[in-house]
Amino acid sequence: MITNLLVTLPKAKAWRSEHVFLYKGFWLSSEVLKGLVLIHNHFTPQPTDIFLAAFMKCGTTWLKALMFATANRHRYKLSDHPLLRTGPQSAFPFLDTHIFLDYPVTNFDHLPVPRLFATHFAHGLLPTSITSTCKIVYVCRDPKDALVSKWHFLSKLRSKELEPLPFNEAYEMFCNGVSEYGPFWDHVLGYWKASQESPDKILFLKYEDMKREPTIELKKLAAFMGMPFTAEEEEEGVVEDIVKLCSFQNLSRLEVNKGGGGGQKFTAKVVVENQEFFRKGEVGDWKNYLTEEMKDRIDNIAVNKLKGSGLMLGLTK
């Protein structure tokens, strides 16, 4: 089924595997394209489901931890929290590939309500049964930092049978929109526009804002999820406690996130160790990789692509 579709699609060099395929304006690996078809044909959203959507390397791991800890704050003690044992990636399913981990298709009925799901798919690729019914939390990031993070991540996962992908080539590809789930700007714009039209359905967050003011952003997130912190919880410091639990400093030092056996199964062949989801966790690491000229070019692309949208991105100094 998927093979028949793939032969009809334009393809380009990929960052992890050999090729990505252009499907409805976005570059997808064959694995996630299969996932997308299954989601359209077999996934039944519930109105209480909450989605976490993001382009790759824009904050999924962090948001998974925050959303899971917030939604389940009455079930678990922070001192003995499942996040400390499993790491954030296992907190809830990454739908794009999890949908086909069980044969013939994964059933998610056992998940507690609200069911939480993560996806990297662009807004326009998701079935309307999801986008018209479920709440979506979207997190975006300075494209320069997303690019650097993605290059590190996918270089590690890149098939050993392929030549390594030099950073400058990845930069060119990224600027041209060609990378897994890209183009970056179309991805961000799709969710941005949808969030402007339906702010009650889509919460649009920025990694940089979360770094600067995590408690304010977490309160926004909890309220959007329909689980606002009470005055009593705020007084007790619950917001700060969750921020601390989910911080890069705390999570990245845990055994399970340092190669201690924790990992995320994406496909039968691709299993990624938890430690790969924690690198630096900083804003502005791009400065160590991009020349002034490269920075100006990518910032100009962002300005042009986002012109008139009211969204500004990637202007971190």
Annotation marks residue 120 as catalytic: yes
Q: How many CB atoms lie within 10 A of CB 125?
A: 23
CB nearer ligand PAP, residue 113 or residue 271: 271
Q: Distance between CA atoms of 119 and 53, rounded to whole angstroms? A: 5
CB nearer ligand PAP, residue 11 or residue 280: 280
Residues 6 or more apart whose Cβ sits within 8 Å of residue 260 = 254, 274
> CB of 90: closest distance to ligand PAP in angstroms?
12
CB nearer ligand PAP, residue 137 or residue 251: 251
CB nearer ligand PAP, residue 63 or residue 130: 63
> CB of 48: closest distance to ligand PAP in angstroms?
23
> CB of 138: closest distance to ligand PAP in angstroms?
12
CB nearer ligand PAP, residue 41 or residue 158: 158
Annotated catalytic residue within 19, 81, 98, 120:
120
Looking at the DSSP assignment, which residues form a beta bridge with residue 94?
Answer: 118
> CB of 89: closest distance to ligand PAP in angstroms?
7
Instruction: Identify the helix (H) or strand (E) that includes residue 23.
Output: strand 19-23
> CB of 205: closest distance to ligand PAP in angstroms?
12
Helical spans, DSSP H, in the chain:
2-6, 30-42, 60-71, 82-86, 95-98, 128-131, 143-157, 167-175, 184-197, 207-212, 214-224, 231-236, 238-245, 248-252, 292-306
Is the Cβ–Cβ distance between 117 and 95 less than 8 Å?
yes
Find how far residue 79's CA is from the centre of its chain.
27
Selection from 156, 137, 147 nearest residue 54 by Cα: 137
Is the Cβ–Cβ distance between 34 and 2 less than 8 Å?
yes
Cα distances from 196 to residues 44, 120, 203, 204, in angstroms, run 26, 20, 9, 9
> CB of 183: closest distance to ligand PAP in angstroms?
16
Instruction: Using CB under 6 A, list all residues that contact ligand PAP.
Output: 54, 56-62, 65, 145, 149, 152-153, 246-248, 251, 277-281, 285
CB nearer ligand PAP, residue 65 or residue 256: 65
Q: Distance between CA atoms of 8 and 30, rounded to whole angstroms? A: 12
Structure tokens at 87: 């790491």
Q: Active-site residues: which are they?
A: 120
